[in-house]
Amino acid sequence: MSKLLKEEIVSIEKIAREIYKISIKSDYVSDNAVPGQFVNIRCSDGITALLRRPISICDVDKAKGTFDICFQIKGIGTEYLAKKTAGETIDIIAPIGKPFHLSSEYKTIAVVGGGIGVFPLLHLLKESSGSQRYAFLGFRNKEFVVLEDEFSAASNKLNISTDDGSAGYKGLVTDLLENELKEKGIDIIYACGPTPMLRNVMKIAQAYNTKCQVSMEQRMGCGIGACLVCACKTKAENEDGWEYSHVCKDGPVFWSNEIILD
């Protein structure tokens, strides 16, 4: 169950170009959060950035009772967030959302992340019981590569790609996924990132008959299913064959065979 909480910021650090990590003390979130869930943050006290901003739970330390979020500065909300300091209180609703499906049946798993979509996948890798855990992460260029050591420690094999080749493979992260699938089977793929990447991952999963879940990072308004800002198309048994679902209420995680990405 999600709760409205006022928690203490333990630390804040810049971890890459325009990207920050905030560690938050919260026994409730660290005890209850499962991979794929997010927090809805009130970024400022005034009327600017009034709406809460959704940010994924990136890592959880149950022993310390803390969790981490990582975010890229995009606009006013994340700009405010980057100015927070250790010791300050942060107003959150957490943990929220339909999580990734984890099962002891999934022995070989692959996570595929693009840009800010990599963040929820670290928590997932750490919680997965899969004996083979592959990470495929794509970034614009080396300045945006984040959490390399953390993903390397949490996976058996970390594969990085950049658009310009300044770090890792030059090209699409989905090329790396497909190369792996040509070599060996994967029980499930979990993906989060920009829509063109998700579209590619879903196509590859279908071609290789592999289970796949995607986490959608749609722009949000109310965050509680009352507006249509976060609408996405999902398959339905009606005349049109589809309906609108809400990422905030029905997601953010969906099975790839239930979502329609136009």
Residue 49 binds ligand FAD (CB under 6 A): yes
Mask: binding to ligand FAD, 130-169, rule CB under 6 A, as x and -? Answer: ----------------------------------------
Q: Which of 16, 34, 167, 229 binds ligand FES (CB under 6 A)?
A: 229
Q: Which of 60, 248, 253, 259 binds ligand FES (CB under 6 A)?
A: 248
Residue 112 binds ligand FAD (CB under 6 A): no
Q: Which residues of 110-126 are buried (b: 16+ CB within 10 A; e: fewer)?
A: bbbbbbbbbbbbbbbbe
Residue reference for tokens 């590619």: 200
Sheet holding 188-192, edge to edge: 169-170, 157-162, 132-139, 108-114, 188-192, 211-215, 253-255
- The DSSP letter of residue 171 is S
- Hey, what are 182's tokens? 């040509």
Positive or negative torsion for Cα 139, 145, 150, 155: positive
Residue 223 binds ligand FAD (CB under 6 A): no
* Distance in angstroms (rounded) separating the CA atoms of residues 135 and 109: 9
Residue 116 binds ligand FES (CB under 6 A): no
Amino acid at 129: S
Q: Which of 32, 44, 72, 195 binds ligand FAD (CB under 6 A)?
A: 72
Residue 222 binds ligand FES (CB under 6 A): yes
* Distance in angstroms (rounded) separating the CA atoms of residues 58 and 94: 13
Q: Which of 94, 252, 253, 259 binds ligand FAD (CB under 6 A)?
A: 252
Q: Which H/E stretch holds residue 151?
A: helix 148-154
| Helices first, then strands: H and E counts in the chain | 7, 17
Rounded to a whole number of angstroms, the minimum distance from the CB of residue 261 to ligand FAD is 14
Number of residues that bind ligand FAD (CB under 6 A): 22
Segment lying near ligand FAD (by CB under 6 A), choices 46-54, 122-130, 131-139, 166-174: 46-54
Question: Using CB under 6 A as the criterion, which residues of the chain lie in contact with ligand FAD when the complex forms?
Answer: 38, 49, 53-56, 70-72, 74-78, 116, 119, 217-220, 247, 252
